[in-house]
Amino acid sequence: MIPQNRLLELLLPRHVNPGPSTALPDPSSTEYCDLKALGLLPPDHEIPDKGPTVSRTIWAFLGFATLFLALRIYCKKWRSRGLWWDDYVLILSWLMFIACAILCQLVINLGFGRYPCDIPPTHHPTIAFVGATLGSCISILTISWSKTSFAITILRLSPSGSMLRNIAWFVLISMNVLMGTQAVVVWVKCNPVSKNWDMAAEGTCWDVHATNNYGVFCGVYSGVCDIVLALLPWRLVWRLQMRKKEKLGVVVGMSMGIL
């Protein structure tokens, strides 16, 4: 339940320019749902919904990814040479990105982005399965395969036996092992598997703190891999016989993954 002092803070009128609509001062999910259950929300209170923001963001990023992939294929296939393994892995990652965006939009249409008490209870298991289980697994593959593609590019360009090549191999293997394990954990953390998306089902799950901490660790490691892969081209390209402006353009383009 909401502490009394917090309840007063949420219910007392705002002192600065009160408008026609009564806005709550950023209640948490539990506070908001408690107020709704007690019938204390203003009749005209707008239902908090981050779903549209998530939808616009993911489709915008997919649009950028599609544009850059199309330009890459155009430059390599029609302007210089054919596609190689790194291109095919990147195309596979892009297909996974499309699937991830579609699944994300599906759960948003079901209410994802709102507080649980504003989502029909019958939608909760579907959102948990499509978004938190299947969607999480696909998003992990999308992220790891995009990095794999770039690591393959570095391996292709770096001299055999060089330190650069060894670092690329280490990033490639370690990142896929960690991220692959996380993709598997998404499915096996509960017994039976259906309890992953149906909390009312009989069964047991691993400690949520352990799985969350491992997910955070994989996210941090993934970010470190982005930085390492973004820095490797500088050492590789700077030794080539090219004008400095061309070198700078190449390394900046190859380092965009740091964003």
pLDDT value for 240: 66
What's residue 34's pLDDT?
A: 81
pLDDT of residue 25: 53
Q: Tell me which residue range forms the domain holding 138.
A: 51-258
pLDDT of residue 192: 92
In the prediction, which pLDDT does 117 show? 87
Angle of the 163-188 helix axis to the 136-157 helix axis, nearest 10: 170
Q: What is the pTM of this model?
A: 0.80
Is residue 12 assigned to a domain?
Answer: no
Report the pLDDT value the prediction gives residue 200, as an integer from 0 to 100. 83
Regions of the chain where pLDDT drops below 70: 1-27, 79-80, 238-242, 245-247, 251, 253-254, 257-259
Residue 243 in domain: yes
How far apart are the C-alpha atoms of 107 and 134, rounded to whole Å?
11
Does the residue 29 lie in any domain? no
Q: Is residue 1 part of a domain?
A: no
pLDDT computed for residue 156 by the predictor: 86
pLDDT one-digit tens code per residue, 101-121: 999 999 999 999 998 888 999
Q: Is residue 225 part of a domain?
A: yes
Indicate whether 30 belongs to any domain: no
Number of domains in the chain: 1
Residue 41 lies in a domain: no
Summarised one tens digit per residue, pLDDT across range 174-211 is 999 999 999 999 999 999 999 998 888 889 999 989 99
In-domain check, residue 38: no
pLDDT for 232 = 82
Amino acid 20: pLDDT: 47
